[in-house]
Amino acid sequence: MPLPILADVWSRGLSSVPAGWTVVKIVPVIAVLYLLKWYFNGVSNTSERNMHSKVVMITGGTSGIGAEVAKELATRGAQIVLLTQQPLSDPFLVDYIMDMRTQTNNELITAEHVDLTSLHSIRLFATKWVDNAPPRRLDMIVLCANVRIPSGGKATTTEDGLELTWGLNYVANFHLLSILSPALRAQPPDRDVRIIFGTCSSYMGGKLPDFGPEAKSKSKKDVKPVTESIAFTPAGVYATSKLALMTFAIAFQKHLSSYSRPDKAPNNARVLLVDPGWTRTPGMRRYLTFGSLWGLALYLFMWPFWWLTLKGADQGAQTFLYAAMEAQYGKGEGGWFLKECRQYKYTRPEIEDEDVQKRLWEVSEITVQALEKESALRRAKEKKAEGKDKDKDKDKDKAKTGAPDGNGTPKQRKGK
């Protein structure tokens, strides 16, 4: 069949074939679009690992890249523990877990309620996890939770008074891992433990605050200038939070490696940092739409362009999966930075500066302690006020029903 058509084209020209010129014009366009999409999709993970019996804790695992990572690891047999902001009785969360169990044919998918914008909520969960004998199994922590305020957006704060981007992207991860570190160090020496941080190339534009002498002081007065020294711009705070997170990640690797195990075995917990690239996640969509309706209309109008140039969530998850399953990262000193399933060097010297790491850790520790004390006092006052309200309500009920007072004398009702 093709030979006669080619012979006809050779002898009579391309116009002899129906829609011949149209095909010639369309095919190159389709080929170029295919090559562009292939290029922007990035590299796919080719590493595999037996994930059966592995316990994986994931933040941000109900949407975007985190959901794809959780799904792929669950498909390979891992036991998934989702840290979610929603209550465990939330219908969306219940349906989501049931659907994931069905899709992955894996019943070992559970959730724990952890509000990463609340230091108290993080402590409640983490201390409950650590306070277990024998230590609970934990093979991997994947930190995908992330927030980015659109350009022109106003600063919002967490319930502890931290700017939301700084509080969730950095302080929440610092607080969670600081408490969970004993659980990581207590894992058997033959267990390959990995802590995977999600980051972004915008860290190159971050600027860590000038810690100054505050890092060496334990005074609450010295904490405020540190948190307030981060001038708010959506892009600037986001970049700084990622730079701080990466600096802390390397410090956390040193913290794990310096631990002297009772069995004298070498450290078996390793930190990896992953840049998934520009991906069509809910957070990216909010950023591109400026958090407005007219921005959403513009986003929909430009959808073909975003589809072409941005990765899908499944492609954004590929480097996370590579970090979780590549065999070479199960040994060595840790602290690797991965992008497009390849290892890269850090472009900011602060990340590997031991002095900066130490000061950042100390300041973060002081900040968390001060904020937790304030939170505890606030909860105590609220509980006390709530108790007084309940006592007043009881007194009113007794007065209405004529119940005996504290001396056993019935209270008289007033006549109308």
**Predicted confidence (pLDDT) per residue in 184-203, tens digit:** 999 999 999 999 999 999 99
Amino acid at 267: N
CA distance 356 to 67: 33
CA distance 34 to 40: 10
Condensed to tens digits (0 to 9), the pLDDT of residues 284-302 reads 888 888 888 888 899 899 9
For 199-327, list the strands marked E by DSSP: 269-275
Render 342-358 in DSSP notation, one character per residue: EEE--S-GGGG-HHHHH
What average pLDDT does the structure give for the chain?
A: 86
Domains of the chain in start order, with CATH, are 121-276+322-370 (3.40.50.720)
CA distance 353 to 398: 67
Choosing from 242, 358, 390, 398, which is the catalytic residue? Answer: 242
Burial of 364 (0-12, 13-18, 19+ CB in 10 A): buried
Decide if 414 is catalytic.
no
| Position 47 confidence tier, pLDDT thresholds 50, 70, 90 | very high
| Position 17 confidence tier, pLDDT thresholds 50, 70, 90 | low
Exposure string (b/e) for 225-258, b if CB count within 10 Å is 16 or more?
ebbeebeeebbbbbbbbbbbbbbbbbbbbbbbee
Q: Which region holds residue 281: left if phi is over 0, alpha if psi is between -120 and 50, else beta?
A: beta
CA distance 193 to 269: 5
Beta strands 342-344; 336-339: pairing state: antiparallel
- pLDDT mean over 22-51: 87
For residue 339, the SS3 value is strand
- In eight-state DSSP terms, residue 167 is I
- Say yes or no to pLDDT of 393 above 60: yes
For residue 12, the SS3 value is helix
Condensed to tens digits (0 to 9), the pLDDT of residues 345-375 reads 999 999 999 999 999 999 999 999 999 999 9
Amino acid at 160: D
pLDDT at 223: 47
**Residue 145 and residue 66 in contact, taking contact as beta carbons nearer than 8 Å:** yes
Neighbours of 77 (CB within 10 A): 15
- Say yes or no to pLDDT of 251 above 50: yes
Condensed to tens digits (0 to 9), the pLDDT of residues 81-124 reads 999 999 999 999 999 999 999 999 999 999 999 999 999 999 99
